[in-house]
Structure 1
């Protein structure tokens, strides 16, 4: 996406686009068809450069161990990297490009950290301006009532699913509010490499566990968020 295109979208969204209320889906919920096919991926684990393997290595100093991400399953353009900022947003902003499936964290030197993401499936897309109200490490996940109605097997989690390796929120979550209203959308971790670059969730933005830990460590609560 060009800077001009992204800025034009930002102007349109600033006019009052609102977020649709929904919630993050469980990995146990039926998978949805991706809206776009992912680019061709590397053929084998050996094709992943050592520095990328190091970025996505196993994390053992957390309350729950995190396995190494299998980056040969993730298209190269979705690997975490520093890029020239294409967004035009102020430093500290988080920008989600739902077309190209990137999340940008804008820096104050004209660059941005870019992450590959999975986004909401058809019927669960959302866009607009909001902010990161707060952050959590190893969050509890509580499916909203409308999700439980669609997936009755989630009833046992109506009052929350404890943190852990099976929790669909992963090791970190950033909570998205508009004003004082919780949108019920989150930016969170997910270990399924095949969801990166695809539209598969119930609206939330998914990053690989190592990426969401990195993002969580660098984003400040209260930071502005733009989804285009």
Structure 2
């Protein structure tokens, strides 16, 4: 498997094995399914905030990003439960600021900010049978990465063979605009935190182990996450 595989077809893996992204079918949706200020800082953390107000502010937060290499469209926030909108929350942790904590049981990713606070992002996570927990670190980062299907996927889905040399970056590439590759002891685990443009996947278990954040959320997390950042994946 090349370093840019990013999405690993690990259908034969059992729960507890090192994960990869979901098995990928060759259309955009199934391929994708294959600033530190959050909404709390915008005054949306209170229980009295109406759903319509939250969505109005979220529409600004998840608006288009036209200046990217491949311009990113706005997110349809009507397809997301408001509890998954990015925000600053209270999160007591002994971990150092910058640490990333993946909570697959609740479909959240946290970035520890210190002083008992964290930035919380809604996420999609591994489906049943593809869950993994443990400690890792960001071993590599990529913007608009190339995706190369592993040989196991090509064997199962011969139509993926046309991408054996690598699928070019772009909006339809399953890795999206930003990717964080997780390592243990110098070895790539096949586990990534990647960007998705499918809002309806947030809050669901759809992958073969990897964790997806909305592209706009990954654009917030990525520049604040250097190589060697500690990542903790909690048990589901």
Q: Sort the TM-score into its range (normalised by shorter chain).
A: 0.7 to 0.9
3-state secondary structure, aligned to 2:114? coil
**In the alignment, which residue of structure 2 is the partner of 1:207?**
213
Q: 1:150 to 1:199 in 2, by over 3 A?
A: farther
**In the alignment, which residue of structure 1 is the partner of 2:18?**
20
**In the alignment, which residue of structure 2 is the partner of 1:157?**
163
1:77-226 map, 5 Å = 77-226=83-232
**The one of 55, 68, 77 aligned to 1:71:** 77
Q: 1:54 to 1:25 in 2, by over 3 A?
A: farther
| TM-score (normalizing by structure 2) | 0.77
Once residues 150 and 134 of structure 2 are traced to their aligned partners in structure 1, the CA distance between those partners, rounded to angstroms, is 21
Runs of 4 or more above 4 Å deviation = 45-48
Once residues 164 and 98 of structure 1 are traced to their aligned partners in structure 2, the CA distance between those partners, rounded to angstroms, is 27
Report the more deviating stretch, 76-85 or 48-57.
48-57
Once residues 210 and 25 of structure 2 are traced to their aligned partners in structure 1, the CA distance between those partners, rounded to angstroms, is 12
C-alpha contact (below 8 Å) 2:93/2:116 kept by paired residues: no
| TM-score (normalizing by structure 1) | 0.80
Once residues 152 and 84 of structure 1 are traced to their aligned partners in structure 2, the CA distance between those partners, rounded to angstroms, is 47
3-state secondary structure, aligned to 2:70? coil
- Cα deviations across residues 129-187 of structure 1 (Å, max 9, x unaligned)? 10011211111112222233333322222221110111011100001100110012111
Query: How far off its partner does 1:21 sit?
Result: 4.5
Q: 1:101 to 1:76 in 2, by over 3 A?
A: same
Unpaired segments of 5 or more residues in structure 1?
Answer: 1-17, 35-44
C-alpha contact (below 8 Å) 1:48/1:71 kept by paired residues: no
RMSD of aligned alpha carbons: 2.4
Q: For this pair of structures, how many residues does the alignment match?
A: 200
Unpaired segments of 5 or more residues in structure 2?
Answer: 1-15, 34-50
